[in-house]
A and B are shown apart, each in its own frame.
Chain A
Amino acid sequence: MPWLEAVRLALHTIRAQKLKSFFSLIGVVIGVTFLIAVVSIVQGMNVYMEDQFANRLVGLHTFQLRRMPGVNTGDVPDSTWREWSRRPRLTYGDADYVVSRIRTPVLTSRFCSERLPLGRGGKVAKDIDVLGADATWFRIKNWGIPDGRPFSPQEVRAGSAVVVLGDLVASKLFEGVDPIGKDVSISGLPYRVIGVVEKQGTMFGISMDKFAVVPFDAPVRRDICRWNTLDELHVKADGAPGMLAALNEVESIMRVRRGLKPQQGDNFALQTAEGALEGWRRISRILFAALPGLVAISLVVGGIVIMNIMLMAVAERTREIGIRKALGAKRKDILAQFVVESATLSTTGAIIGIGLGIGLAFIIRALTPFPAAVAPWSVGMAVILGILVGMSAGIYPASRASKLDPITALRAE
């Protein structure tokens, strides 16, 4: 029961001396704020990278056959670059070879892109990503087309001059006008607009709606897929196991196609969302590895400050300790009182830190696209750390208090 009294006493001290208490708790506050904020920001970025970046940019259960990795993270040594630039380009023949041999049920789409201007009447939209793809493209990318329709396999085979616009391109070229059935000019030829893709939003502040998709065999192929080569072959499986099977299958088909010997490495790349996330994972691992150190430093400093505060409290309250001893307090009673008081102080600091950390996470959430979310385990950990720091900081002062001689203590002023 003296426990509760000690908690009350500590809270009373904090209330009575708000500013002094805040400064004495600042180490713990900073440490815990850091813990909560960094964990929530890194986890928010994780969610963002996995949900938004990887799955939208690369696609769920999707991979691409390429000449070389498209998303590179970290330093790529010169020798690797040289090896990549010596690789043969991916040809139409390669793509047909793979598509005709793959057994795993998958959707495939050839893919090329180039930045070109789009015109309509006097208006020109510059730097639009003109994408040449197969009819399956919209299903692979999971792009809805609320207005109009996607192009058909027949239109791809026929090389029809039709186009599906990105939301931004449509609104730029057709302000207030329904674009369906109208023409836009790409590389000097008119293309009939047959659909507009739903808004994709932004990523890292860049609009994801600045594109126009044309059938792979449309006339503009000359400009975006030169020399009978393509940029990527997109493959989408219906689940994670299918994806893995397709990945292995495509690799072995390509090795056969390229006539690679067993000891030779692949002279092509298979790009997965996992691969694109690799770099981010490394950064988040480093952050998580550095976090305990940073938190520990502030908590140790915070603990030392609290220890000093408690030593002062013991000195100031020597007489109180004498009175308590005279009235029958045993050593462990005094010890418990000061340890609990110290833990209460420190836990109060931890609670303030949790509040600040959550606040910081919300600010980050409001100002950046990262959905920073407070991890419950980090809050629990902060409270436990607060209690532990307070208890360990309180042990020495409390043991000094408990060993005071009652006669001397009673005489103290």
Chain B
Amino acid sequence: MSDAVIQLRDLRRQYDMGGEIIHALRGVSLTIRRNEYVAIMGPSGSGKSTLMNLLGCLDTPDGGEYWLNGQEVSRLSDDALARVRNREIGFVFQTFNLLPRATALQNVELPMVYAGAATKERRQRAAEALTRVGLGERMDHKPNELSGGQRQRVAIARALVNRPSILLADEPTGNLDSATSTEIMRVFGQLQAQGQTVILVTHEADIAAHAHRVVTLRDGRLESDVTKSEIAAA
């Protein structure tokens, strides 16, 4: 399957909580193809966050394999993972996670700083990315001078600026009102339409409904994996 961006094989992760072993993931196998729009759902304690951390290369599994864009990343060193995060993954967080003292433009430039891009190229690409999410006029604003929706747009611009293989959004509308949420979800829809692979981690069914495929976790295992056409067929 050459168009698989993500391939998980029997992925396991456990935590030692003061002698007690917590099995957060008990063997998850999953394939996500290029340009898919996938929502990962599940109640708290289902292993959803653990899976997201593993998918985002912020954490490494205790067992199994994780192939990201043709590279097995589950055994990489910290610095190698940092490189993978920089090139392959665009993060969008619930709390936006913008640097408060930096302008929108500087925030968007940050991933390119760590990619080693030249100053001029960085500025230009960051400006383009902000214009694409409709913030061309507010590049010099600090996060506290922007609304929640605008902040999340800055975060999306930042996530996309290094042209990652996957856009990984963790409860991206959790801190937004419903109107703004709809607006942000429309942006994700557009990005997917333009060819971007989007993975959405959420516990809200109406947010997950925007995705074309919904993967549900329970107790560290895959409970269901349903694509839109199947839902329609049912």
A333 and B114 contacting across the interface, CB-CB below 8 Å: yes
- B20 at interface by CB-CB < 8 Å: no
Which residues in B have their C-beta under 8 angstroms from that of A2? Answer: 113-114
The CA of A327 and the CA of B113, in the complex, are separated in Å by 10
A1 and B79 contacting across the interface, CB-CB below 8 Å: no
Interface string of B80-99 (1 = CB under 8 A from A): 00110111000101000111
Distance from B88 Cβ to chain A, minimum over Cβ atoms (Å):
10
The dominant DSSP class at the B interface is helix
Known: A9-B101, A407-B59. A328 touches B79 (CB 8 A): no
Interface string of A315-335 (1 = CB under 8 A from B): 000011011111111111100
The CA of A333 and the CA of B110, in the complex, are separated in Å by 12
A329 and B101 contacting across the interface, CB-CB below 8 Å: no
B111 and A327 contacting across the interface, CB-CB below 8 Å: yes
Known: A9-B101, A320-B99. A328 touches B93 (CB 8 A): no
Which residues in A have their C-beta under 8 angstroms from that of B82? Answer: 325, 328-331
- A51 at interface by CB-CB < 8 Å: no
The CA of A23 and the CA of B59, in the complex, are separated in Å by 40
> B97 — nearest CB in chain A belongs to which residue?
A323
> B116 — nearest CB in chain A belongs to which residue?
A1
The CA of A110 and the CA of B79, in the complex, are separated in Å by 85
Distance from A44 Cβ to chain B, minimum over Cβ atoms (Å):
45
* Max chain B Cβ within 10 angstroms of own Cβ: one of A1, A319, A324, A333: A1
- A359 at interface by CB-CB < 8 Å: no
Which residues in B have their C-beta under 8 angstroms from that of A324? Answer: 110, 114
Segment 1-45 of A: residues with Cβ below 8 Å from B: 1-2, 5, 9, 12
The CA of A2 and the CA of B116, in the complex, are separated in Å by 9
- B220 at interface by CB-CB < 8 Å: no
Which residues in B have their C-beta under 8 angstroms from that of A9? Answer: 101
Interface string of B101-120 (1 = CB under 8 A from A): 10000000011011110010
The CA of A320 and the CA of B99, in the complex, are separated in Å by 6
- B53 at interface by CB-CB < 8 Å: yes
- B213 at interface by CB-CB < 8 Å: no
Interface string of A322-356 (1 = CB under 8 A from B): 11111111111100000000000000000000000
Distance from B43 Cβ to chain A, minimum over Cβ atoms (Å):
19
Within 8 Å by CB of A328, from B53, B99, B111, lies B111
A410 and B86 contacting across the interface, CB-CB below 8 Å: no
A327 and B110 contacting across the interface, CB-CB below 8 Å: yes
Within 8 Å by CB of A329, from B56, B59, B114, B158, lies B114
Which residues in A have their C-beta under 8 angstroms from that of B79? Answer: 330-332
- A190 at interface by CB-CB < 8 Å: no
B93 and A410 contacting across the interface, CB-CB below 8 Å: yes
A1 and B119 contacting across the interface, CB-CB below 8 Å: yes
Closest 9 interchain pairs by CB?
A: A328-B86, A328-B114, A330-B79, A330-B82, A327-B111, A323-B97, A406-B58, A328-B85, A329-B114
